[in-house]
Amino acid sequence: MDIEKVNSMDFGEFVDVFGNVIERCPLIAAAVWSKRPFSGLGDLEKHFFAFIDGLPLSGQEGVLRCHPELAGRQLQCGRLTAESQREQSAAGLQNLGAAERLRFTELTAQYRTRFGFPFVLAVRLSDPAAAPRELARRLRCPPAQELRTALGEVKKICHLRLADLLGEQP
């Protein structure tokens, strides 16, 4: 799909197509629609990112809380959004061994307790072995820094999903 097609979309179509580029946050696509026309992928994503950056802390935490756990029960049951299911499966998170999965689940639970939101990582950019290491590392970061890191991961996921939709190289 090219950018002219994006610019020609009415509100409903735009939210249907782009409503999950920020996981389970169609409101952001609804707000971005009014910023058209867009000159290209970079311009389009700039508006998604600016919306997130402009949110109060409670809103930014809310965006993070809309993300599913990595390698969680929903992945095993196939109850994630289509994008998330694809990303987590492709990253091999469905095939963790029992011991790895247990350790990952323990660490994600500790992370949620410490920061109040789930661990978010753009898994398409990492390999299965790196995810637990990164989780253990970020678990020790100060909360304000970790919020920034997690929102950066949300933006990477958004970039990859937008590139898929526009048929562009990420």
In the bound state with ligand 2AL, the residue whose beta carbon lies nearer, of 82 and 98, is: 82
What is the rounded distance in angstroms from the CA atom of residue 61 to the CA atom of residue 115? 10
Using the rule CB under 6 A, is 151 a contact of ligand 2AL? no
- Contact status, residue 131 vs residue 118, Cβ threshold 8 Å: no
Q: What angle do CA 91, 6, 35 make, to 5 degrees?
A: 100
Q: What angle do CA 111, 112, 117 make, to 5 degrees?
A: 120
Using the rule CB under 6 A, is 87 a contact of ligand 2AL? yes
Query: Given candidates 28, 29, 71, 88, which one binds ligand 2AL under the rule CB under 6 A?
Result: 88
Q: What 3-state class would DSSP assign to 102?
A: helix
In the bound state with ligand 2AL, the residue whose beta carbon lies nearer, of 33 and 138, is: 138
Q: Which position's Cβ is nearest ligand 2AL? A: 84
Residue 67 is among the residues annotated as catalytic for this protein: yes
User: Which residues would be at the binding site for ligand 2AL (CB under 6 A)?
Assistant: 23, 67-68, 70, 84, 87-88, 118-124, 157
